[in-house]
Amino acid sequence: MTVRLKDIADDLNLSKMTISKVLRGQTDVSPATKARVLQRVKELNYRPNITARSLRTGNTYSMGLIIPALSDPYFADVARSLIETVRGQEYGVLISSAEGDPDTERREIGLQLSRQVDALIVASVQESAEFFAGLGQQRAPLVLIDRKPPSFAAHFVGVRDQDIGYLAAAHLAERGCRKIAYLRGARTAEADLRWSGYRAALAECCVSFRPELVVEPGEMQPNEYRRGYDAMVRLLEGRIKPDGVMCYADLLAQGVIDAVLQRGLRVPADVAVIGCGDLPWLQQLRVPLSSMNLSGEEVGKRAGRLALRALTSKESLPFRNVLVPPRVVVRSST
């Protein structure tokens, strides 16, 4: 038999309002009464009727999260932290994957909105702001994470991309590297910020910038591991051979390490290598890879808090741009 809030109230000779206040965490109930209610709730294994509450409040107590891929460990960290953050406020999270496709993302957003989610958190793969601008004013607050279409005003939580490039290059310089190569990512706003961080760290650490040690994405194979391997082979055949390599992604760095080792060189004694993404299996490599951790758990936590704040605010919040710092995870490769 389903236990109702009324049953607990009758059992304790209290009003339904008092029981409700205790369950919502309000403070205008005496400690003794609160203890009695919580004890009885536990004994009866009471579960709030979300459907009934939704009918009263107009809220579904759900948030929609759309990410580029379920298999991406970074977004798994984001999702786990987001769920933990909003769970305390009795919100659930409906997760959808865009599989890296803008059309799929648009369909998934439409489905989430049709389910009347109270807030929408999106790690978008859209190339422009046109789709989001076309959504107009929605009941559900929108929080973008990871990246934001250019010139689009919205709540945003991401990582400080310039710090990624800066900290990675500075870490190599601190390890004594003076000829630091960079395997760049695609020409996006995020990649350009990492590039500017790389250049800033070289200047600050008095390390010469050498254009011949920069490998553009157009010069590399589609497969990231192979791109890293082939790029490093070419760099080692060049006139100036790098003693440190920073890579836009961890798979590039794995290819770099294998190319160095197959040439009979040592990592990090001859060439130090740092990647980006801090994939979980990096510790299992022949040479465990140093990497930039992109703070997925912190991004998820901040996005959850921002969504909750937007939902509970009585006034429309000004758009917030929250940037969290990355961190260097040092392993054997540096």
- Is 25 in the same domain as 140? no
- Per-residue DSSP letter, 3: P
Within 10 Å of residue 255's Cβ, how many Cβ atoms? 26
Domain co-membership, 287 together with 312: no
Q: Are residues 181 and 223 in the same domain?
A: yes
Cα separation, 162 vs 265, whole angstroms: 31
Please indicate, yes or no, whether residues 9 and 85 belong to a single structural domain of this protein.
Answer: no
Instruction: For residues 152 and 118, state if they share a domain.
Output: yes
How many Å apart are CA 65 and CA 86, to the nearest integer? 12
User: What is residue 202's predicted lDDT score, i.e. its pLDDT?
Assistant: 98
Whether residue 212 is predicted with pLDDT greater than 60 in this model: the reply is yes
CA distances from 319 to 19, 77, 152, 156 (A): 36, 24, 11, 8
Residues 263 and 307 occupy one common structural domain: no
Claim to verify: residue 123 and residue 154 sit in the same structural domain? yes
Residues 264 and 219 grouped into a single domain: yes
Predicted confidence (pLDDT) at residue 52 exceeds the cutoff of 60: no
Residues 129 and 253 in one domain: no
Would you say residue 81 has pLDDT above 90? Answer: yes
Residue 332 domain flag: no
Per-residue confidence (pLDDT) for residue 55, from 0 to 100: 47
149 found inside a domain: yes
Does the structure show a pLDDT above 80 at 98?
yes
71, 102 contact by CB (below 8 A): no
Structural domain harbouring 246: 161-293
In a domain, 268, yes or no: yes
Per-residue pLDDT averaged across 163-173, rounded? 98
- The number of domains in the chain is 3
pLDDT, tens digit (0-9, with 9 covering 90-100), for 55-78: 455 567 899 999 999 989 999 999
Q: How many CA atoms lie within 13 A of 66 on its CB side?
A: 27
% of the chain beyond a pLDDT of 70: 93
pTM of the prediction?
0.81
The residue-averaged pLDDT of 233-237 equals 96
Given a cut of 80, whether residue 96 has pLDDT beyond it is yes
Residue 318 lies in a domain: yes
* pLDDT number for residue 127: 85
Domain assignment of residue 224, yes or no? yes
Band of residue 219 on the pLDDT scale cut at 50, 70, 90: low
One domain, residues 260 and 168? yes
Whether residues 236 and 198 fall in one domain: yes
Give first-to-last CA distance, the chain, whole Å.
Answer: 62
Answer yes or no: do 287 and 165 share one domain: yes
- How much is the pLDDT for 132? 87
Alpha carbons within 13 A on the beta-carbon side of 27: 0
Q: Domain holding 80: CATH number?
A: 3.40.50.2300
- The arrangement of strands across the sheet holding 142-145 comes to 92-97, 62-67, 119-122, 142-145, 155-159, 321-324
**Which two structure tokens, joined as six digits, stand for 270?**
């001859």
Least confident of 62-66, 106-110, 126-130, 273-277: 126-130
